[in-house]
Amino acid sequence: METVPGILSGLNTASFKTVARALTIVENDLAGANDLLKGLTFPKKTPIIGITGPPGAGKSTLVNALISLINDGSKVAVLAIDPTSPFNFGSLLGDRIRMSGHFNHPDVFIRSLATRGSLGGLSAKTIEMSDVLRAAGFDYVFIETVGVGQSEVEIAGLADITMVVLVPESGDEIQNIKSGLMEIADAFIVNKADRDGADIFANNLKKISQQKGEGLTVFKTIASQSSGIDEIAAFIKSTQNIKNTRAEFLLADKAYKLIQQKRMRNIDKAELRKKIAGAMSIPGFNLYAFIEKY
């Protein structure tokens, strides 16, 4: 068994095995996880790129295509987040299948992660694991979120660059603005742009962005054919050294989630469900009185 100092000293992109071991320790709160996190150092500025959007928009296919262009000598890591069932707490973790072409590439590291019940698609573990990848010296870290509607805005609290993937039939653009996407996006990607209405949808997004004073870039792609991917890769590389104006917000949001996780550490959700089931059978059950015990 590797010691924490040994893992920290060997935590670099030349040893994916050590990176994987560090992520496992952190994800499962194994012995030494806290010491490992406190011992992290960051050798360089590694951009965290968030890819979010509704299910079926083609996020995994897009990331798969981007990897081919980004890793021209660069080391790329991907955290692909899958939803956890609220009933059996299981998760498919199937995004790696869609990225199978890069799975054994020596410069690409792919890890699937379950949300563990986090409704926004990002758990505190996502923050910790992305920091492990940053400490390992990757050049780019992609985080592909679940895509669960209005809670997608959580990615803004973690990513340096947030890209929102939509499809022509995503619906009323106004609804996208209501959900906060216009505020958290650094760019929109209209994927599956060979479908009817793609040009109108993209132009409307540009107009609405300009009206709000955002002036966001809108890309059109057909990720399954790698069409339009070059422009996105160039955008990511061009923004790598731009100062993040949301740095304080990002760090405060990260700190909030980590503190929240620490204070909730002793609450087992499965055990809580069992206690709720028992308490509900008692006449006069009151949820607010019940949670006072916690």
What would the pLDDT profile of 198-249 be if each residue is shown by its tens digit?
998 898 888 887 876 667 899 999 999 999 999 999 999 887 666 566 667 7
- Look at 195 and 146; give whichever has higher pLDDT: 195
Is 285 found in the same domain as 250?
no
For residue 219, tell me if it sits in a domain: yes
What DSSP character marks residue 280?
T
Type of residue at 61: T
What DSSP character marks residue 244?
-
- The burial class, CB within 10 Å (0-12 / 13-18 / 19+), for 39 is middle
The sheet that has 187-190: what strands, in order across it? Answer: 108-114, 76-82, 140-144, 48-52, 161-166, 187-190, 217-220
Q: What is the pTM of this model?
A: 0.81
Q: What residues contact residue 162 under an 8 Å CB cut-off, 6+ apart?
A: 50, 52, 155, 156, 184, 185, 186
Give per-residue pLDDT as tens, 149-178: 544 566 776 788 889 898 988 655 555 555
Is 277 found in the same domain as 226?
no
The rounded mean pLDDT for the chain is 80
Is 129 found in the same domain as 255?
yes
Type of residue at 123: S
For residue 150, tell me if it sits in a domain: yes
For residue 29, tell me if it sits in a domain: no
For residue 11, tell me if it sits in a domain: no
Q: Contact, 171 vs 189, CB < 8 A?
A: no
Percent of the chain scoring above 70 in pLDDT = 76
The pLDDT-based confidence of 15 (bands split at 50, 70, 90) is confident
Is 289 found in the same domain as 210?
no
Look at residue 271 and tell me whether its pLDDT is greater than 50: yes
| CB atoms inside a 10 Å sphere around CB 149 | 14
Is 290 found in the same domain as 223?
no
User: Tokens 């990720």 appear where?
Assistant: 223
The pLDDT-based confidence of 266 (bands split at 50, 70, 90) is confident
Q: Contact, 230 vs 201, CB < 8 A?
A: no
Is 59 found in the same domain as 151?
yes
| CB atoms inside a 10 Å sphere around CB 154 | 25
Is 214 found in the same domain as 173?
yes
Domain of residue 246 covers: 43-263
- The domain tally of the chain equals 2
For residue 14, tell me if it sits in a domain: no
